[in-house]
Structure 1
């Protein structure tokens, strides 16, 4: 079972939301500092810099939050890749199980299509089709 991505729908909901939150965390001191400085400049009419405005000191904290956010992003992407591989394997198993359920129908189609005696054999193990099918028709 996946940790974050449990089905294909989560690629459109969970993946972009968490990606945006991680990037927002990494860049938050810079965003907050520049927005606060912009509002201060609007109110006072003076330009804002590190010497006269504490808002412009906040972007320096990005030196800390950006590497932490990058590490979190790296871990997040590894989890997404692992979940994607698990989801693809689960999808392949589901298709294999559907083929196993369709084998009697396939046998009757082959038998009815040609008035020959046909034998369809497949190696099945643990509910999975092992992709070696053998069709033998005798007249």
Structure 2
């Protein structure tokens, strides 16, 4: 099975990804882009109508995992070791969140990933992420 298809199938099988409405917009060799539509159920502050940071975190984590799985040198699945999220600003109410992640380095047991979350304001990220993920024995 090719890596891109494997990453897509793995991610689409995750129940919380379905519940949050996550969708792939692009996936390639060690890269992934996803989108989560705005939904009132995911609002963290009823006054401002801003999406909860936990939903943004989940989208970034899922996108990063897909980037690791789709990397041509990764022989299998992955799990998050650590993920640091820096929230830069509140997401704009009513706008979808889009993420893009790149798996930029693999060792025999660890993958390193960078990602960002954006809404319609591509100039200023909502959040950025750096993470480490498990790898099953790169050869």
Higher relative contact order (CA 8 A, sep 6+): 2
Structure that is richer in strand per residue: 2
Q: TM range, normalised to the smaller chain?
A: under 0.3
Structure 1 or 2: larger helix share? 1
User: TM-score with structure 2 length normalisation?
Assistant: 0.25
